[in-house]
Amino acid sequence: MRTKIFAHRGASGKAPENTMTAFKKAAEEGADGIELDVHLTRDRIPIVIHDETVDRTTDGYGFVKDYSLEGLKKLSAGHWKGWKFRHEQIPTLEEVLKWLSKTELTLIVEFKNNILPYKGLEQKTIHLLEKYHMLERTIFSSFNHNSLFKVKELYKQAETAALYGKPIASPAQYAKTIRVDGLHPSFRLINQPLIQNLHANGIKVRPYTVNSQRIMETLFSWKIDGLITDYPARARDSLHRIRL
């Protein structure tokens, strides 16, 4: 099977990250799936934003967890990327799923619970995915590997993948120990023998965040399972080029 292309926070190289515009752009650019980040609002609603605070990507400030959904919806999630994006809102996970469920795209949902705990985040996310018939099209990922274990307890068929950005001594062994189906390492941590070893152990590998065409082409030639990028169109072109 060919490598799948996942748009990191949507097509975030061209539109404000984690917005509906970025997700729709990813679909237009031929991505196979989107990656997004989930936190909980003060009123315990799964919301799609990367950071723990709204400071970097909106015109507000403070922790996501301290805002009600109504409060978050008043913020601009696009102004920081340019005037034309000023009406962009922070989407709820439900809003994204409503749209995504009508497409053929796959989802990588990342629980952003490695810094703040967000009790109930896994359960609420699974519930929404079930409502929109998206469970079988979703890969659950997190830097919080205990959270992925919890996902399997709640939904045993869940496909999970552990994120990591620092070297792990024996990645295949580690993946088996924590019972994940795949690994999502920083692309800087991988090499061809490692990919071969992971595949020999039945473990999928989807590195992040790959934006250079040269590196994309190398990784495609190693037959990685997925590639997470801010530039899905560039990845499509690279994939096409190495298949010529």
Nearest to 121 by CA among 185, 64, 39: 39
CB-closest chain residue to ligand G3P: 208
Say whether 2 sits in a helix, a strand or coil: coil
Exposure of 10 in the CB half-sphere (CA atoms within 13 A): 21
Least distance (Å) between residue 208 CB and Ca ion: 7
Between 41 and 113, name the residue whose CB sits nearer to ligand G3P: 113
Kindly write out the interface string for residues 143-182 of this chain, putting x where it contacts ligand G3P by CB under 6 A and - elsewhere. --------------------x-------------------
Residue 144 to residues 56, 150, 209, Cα–Cα distance (Å): 22, 10, 18
Which residue in the set 96, 228, 233, 235 belongs to the binding site for ligand G3P (CB under 6 A)? 228
DSSP E strand stretches across the chain: 4-8, 33-40, 46-48, 106-111, 138-142, 159-164, 182-185, 204-205, 226-229
Annotated catalytic, 240? no
Per DSSP, what are the bridge partners of residue 7? 34, 229
Which residue in the set 17, 32, 88, 110 belongs to the binding site for Ca ion (CB under 5 A)? 110
Length reported for the chain? 244
The reply to whether 110 sits near ligand G3P by the rule CB under 6 A is yes
Q: Which does 208 bind (CB under 5 to 8 A by kind): ligand G3P, Ca ion, none?
A: ligand G3P
Name the residues annotated as catalytic: 8, 50
Contacts with ligand G3P by CB under 6 A lie at 8, 35, 37, 50, 108, 110, 141, 163, 184, 208-209, 228
Query: Which residues form the interface with Ca ion (CB under 5 A)?
Result: 37, 110
